Structure 1
Amino acid sequence: MKEFVYRVARPALAHFPGHHRSRRGDSGHEFRAHVPLHDAPDVRRLDLHASLRDPLGQWLVRVANERKAVPVYAVADLSASMAFQGERRKLDVLADFTEALAWSAWRTGDAFGFVGCDEAVRRDWLLPLVRSQGAGSAFARRLRAFAPAGRNADGLKEAHRLLRRERSLVFLLSDFHLPLPTLDAVLGSLAHHELVPVLLWDRAEFAQPGDEPNAAGSPGGIGLADRIGRLASLVDAETGQRRLLWLRPALRERWRRQLEARRGTLDALFRRHRLRPLYLLNGFDADAVTAHFHR
């Protein structure tokens, strides 16, 4: 089982003991403040030096922050575009990530939950917060056998309603081929939580149709099709609609520029929401996820 190490930037607010820094409790190991004895009646933490210096003559005790757990969620796009297969099928990469996340949460002492969405929130793809060693493996097996058919991922806009109100660590898993207004609404709805957008991309999906060796028979030569264009049959990943398109050189160049601009547009949107995205190309990499939280 692959495991990665995550951490939260802000102190945890939960009440369950765990691994993460918090500002709750009074008997931990991270000093927070001195308080009067009657507010924290534990003479074992009495600080005589601080009490003698107190101008009000109070008996003061030391209180220290305790380590707490945080809820961890995977909010996943299960629309039809996630069935794309290049070097690996995107749903298989999603399954690998989900399995590793659930295992890592269990090892850290956190509860794990899952919310799957396509056109709406999928009730058959909901997992309430659990502390179970095998929860991720069961969900991963279902994901690997799943054939998505949703025409869009609008259900992500309602996913926040299925999360706990307390601040949680939320991984938003998608290929992010969403209309920008939809994506903006999704990020805004999850702003209360500590959000990590995880982009599941495959290099094959950004290759232009017809990027095989040209009519001259050599990848380095210039064939007739490169000069006048070629006919390509394209399929919309979400709707399944097929369309014939004549790929003129000008159209191929415009396509290339738009693909290059897409990442810049997404990065600008993430910066506006003060988020650091995690790009996973051609498969799940546990070390890359760990590095994302420690740089």
Structure 2
Amino acid sequence: MTRIRELHYRVAGAAVGLFPGHHRSRSGTSGFEFRGHAALQDAPDVRRLDLHASLRDPFGGWIVRLHSERKSIPVAMVADLSASMGFEGAQRKLDVLADFAESLAWSAWRTGDSFGFVGCEERVLPAFTQLQSRVRGAGVALAQRLRTLQPQGRSARALREAHRHLPRQRALVFLVSDFHLPLAEVETVLDSLASHDVVPIVLWQPAEFALGAARGLAQVREPESGAQRWLWWRPALRERWAAAHDERRQALLQAFRARRLAPMFIEGAFDADAVTRHFLA
């Protein structure tokens, strides 16, 4: 059995929840991180009495120390499972997605967080929708199904509905797609997830944008609809193709940055260490 690579993530703000975990919070009174003082009647725990602070209190009250507790968070992956995700270059996009989902589910379990998954094409796919779970092997079976999936969806418009399948509590959401959809639709999806901490993951393969000979007749195919056409490659068209690729990347970056999101581009195989570095940057 291949060893699952663990990745490490974190959230920018304080975690909010009821379950103990790994992430810093601003709640609780019996943790290990000092947060401040409070009157004994507001936090009735005599074990936390601070005699020095009590002696300094001008009203002669008893003062206790407050220590924030570490909390767990929901971690979810919202994934594009439309036909374009079946593209295969050096790696198949769905295999990269499967490796990512398996690693994230394992890492969430190791961290004490719950893991959920929402797979979308023209509709949300029940077979690829997993509610938040703390089961140890939650990602293994899911990854196996992803590796055998032959995507047929002509669009990923159900990404706009994914927020309905996420927990109400603020979650860390990995939005994974090749983002080969209209920019206005990308913005709608991002806005629908605004109540969560979103990390856009752009899955591309270099072969998607690579051209062969400098000139000649070539057959191209639209990945979602399957429509095919013949083009005569020439230097001018090659330059337009490269420029369109760069413009698309910049347009996506602008849409992400306008919402203060830090995207990650995966252009090849999945690398758990690269995901960890993304959060530490």
1:56 aligns with 2:59: yes
The structure 2 residue matched to 1:2, chosen from 1, 5, 10, is: 5
Q: Deviations over 1:95-153 (max 9, x none)?
A: 00000000000000000000000012112211001111111010000000000000011
Partner of 2:270: 284
How far does residue 255 in structure 1 lie from its aligned partner after superposition?
1.1
User: What's the TM-score once normalised by structure 1's chain length?
Assistant: 0.92
Amino acid at match of 1:288: A
> Percent of aligned positions with the same letter in both sequences?
59
Q: Identify unmatched segments of 5+ residues in structure 2.
A: none
How far does residue 269 in structure 1 lie from its aligned partner after superposition?
1.0
Q: State which drifts further: 179-188 or 30-39.
A: 30-39
1:255 aligns with 2:241: yes
What is the distance in 1 between the residues matched to 2:31 and 2:197?
Answer: 24
Partner of 1:122: 125
The structure 2 residue matched to 1:155, chosen from 158, 164, 172, is: 158
Amino acid at match of 1:233: Q
Number of aligned residue pairs: give it.
Answer: 278
Partner of 2:29: 26
1:244 aligns with 2:247: no
RMSD: 1.0
Partner of 1:216: none
Query: Aligned with 1:148: secondary structure?
Result: coil
Query: Aligned with 1:245: secondary structure?
Result: strand
Query: Aligned with 1:265: secondary structure?
Result: helix
How far does residue 181 in structure 1 lie from its aligned partner after superposition?
0.3
Amino acid at match of 1:42: D
Q: Answer with 1 or 2: which has the greater Rg.
A: 1
What is the distance in 2 between the residues matched to 1:233 and 1:280?
Answer: 26
What is the distance in 1 between the residues matched to 2:66 and 2:38?
Answer: 7
Q: Deviations over 1:245-278 (max 9, x none)?
A: 2333322221111112221111111110101111
Query: Aligned with 1:182: secondary structure?
Result: helix
What is the distance in 1 between the residues matched to 2:251 and 2:201?
Answer: 16
How far does residue 58 in structure 1 lie from its aligned partner after superposition?
1.2
1:39 aligns with 2:42: yes
Partner of 2:256: 270
What is the distance in 2 between the residues matched to 1:107 and 1:77?
Answer: 26
How far does residue 243 in structure 1 lie from its aligned partner after superposition?
1.2
Q: Deviations over 1:10-69 (max 9, x none)?
A: 110011000000011110011112111111111110111111111222111111100000
1:92 aligns with 2:95: yes
Q: Identify unmatched segments of 5+ residues in structure 1.
A: 213-225
Partner of 1:80: 83
Amino acid at match of 1:281: E
What is the distance in 2 between the residues matched to 1:158 and 1:231?
Answer: 41
Partner of 1:195: 198
Partner of 1:141: 144
Query: Aligned with 1:73: secondary structure?
Result: strand
Q: State which drifts further: 270-279 or 255-264.
A: 255-264
User: What's the TM-score once normalised by structure 2's chain length?
Assistant: 0.96
What is the distance in 1 between the residues matched to 2:183 and 2:59?
Answer: 59
Partner of 2:104: 101
What is the distance in 2 between the residues matched to 1:282 and 1:33?
Answer: 47
Amino acid at match of 2:271: D
Partner of 1:171: 174
Amino acid at match of 1:126: T
What is the distance in 2 between the residues matched to 1:165 and 1:9?
Answer: 18
Please identify runs of 4+ aligned residues in structure 1 that moved more than 3 A: none
Partner of 1:112: 115
Amino acid at match of 1:76: A
